[in-house]
A and B are shown apart, each in its own frame.
Chain A
């Protein structure tokens, strides 16, 4: 999608044009879903988060600035939706533990790891799924979605310099885990840094 057509779409979206929404949906739906599924490591959760993302998008469509870049905007919303879900799940896990109910388990395999087309893809998916969320989101935004480090910094709410450092650490961590035959899953934010 070139910049001209993106600006035209934003203009039409601000006016509530459903055809413009369909165009944006067609361009970003699969990308957002892949991003969310790899962040959440669950297709079902990703579908819920995807729905939240699109609903937030249409709810705030009339408040979009005329020069909005749709890609970074949508990935920012998707990331925020995922962060909210992580916090809710953490609260739920604590409440469940307090009440002495069943434990909340995290699936080890990512949904993509099981269906990866070849050995290399499977290894990358395994290594990616084993990374902490902060490293994973950086690699997904810059590596998979092709956002610039500055755009990814805006999505994650950090400075471009901090994003470059994060990206460097995430690359190194991914390389290390690609050599690790049995990567250990890190599920919580900031767990890898402690």
Chain B
């Protein structure tokens, strides 16, 4: 009797159960959908090429500009320069705001 055996034997009995495969037609459709999704989301060249943004922590990746599909991918140097300008501009605006508020 399974119930009177050791628990490990019980788990082994579970492992011996047979599992049938899903319907082949459905399976093929799922695979086709997954292939399409994978092909759609292959990394664009500037994402795959440049280590600069990918090496940053995930929280900083949100700063990375997202380019609409109609545009050509921008070179990494341009992306980095734009990001740097944006950050510096933000700091200047924040400092000016503090100055106007009389806090700085």
Contacts and interface: CB of A to CB of B under 8 A. Distances in A.
Interface residues of A, number: 48
A84 B75 CA distance: 42
B2 A58 contact: no
Interface string A21-64: 11001000111011001000001001100110011011101100
Contacts of B42: 15-16
A54 B34 CA distance: 7
A18 B10 contact: no
A124 B11 contact: no
Given A15-B43, A50-B22, A175-B2, A58 B34 contact: yes
A140 B7 CA distance: 14
Interface in B21-72: 21-23, 26-27, 30-31, 33-35, 37-39, 41-43, 48
Name, among A15, A31, A51, A176, the residue most crowded by chain B CB atoms within 10 Å (CB to CB).
A51
A176 B13 contact: no
Nearest to A125: B17
Interface residues of B, number: 32
Contacts of B18: 112, 116-117, 121
B24 to A, nearest CB: 11
B41 A47 contact: no
Contacts of A55: 30, 33-34, 37
A123 B17 CA distance: 11
A93 to B, nearest CB: 26
A143 B2 contact: no
B22 A142 contact: no
B81 interface: no
Nearest to B48: A15
A124 B27 contact: no
A186 interface: no
Nearest to B18: A117
A171 B27 contact: no
Name which of B12, B21, B27 has the most chain A CB atoms within 10 A of its CB. B27
Interface of B: 1-3, 7, 10-23, 26-27, 30-31, 33-35, 37-39, 41-43, 48
10 contacts: A18-B35, A25-B31, A31-B19, A33-B22, A50-B30, A112-B18, A120-B2, A121-B18, A143-B10, A143-B14
Query: Nearest 9 A-B pairs (CB), nearest first?
Result: A34-B19, A143-B14, A16-B42, A143-B11, A175-B3, A58-B37, A178-B3, A58-B34, A171-B7
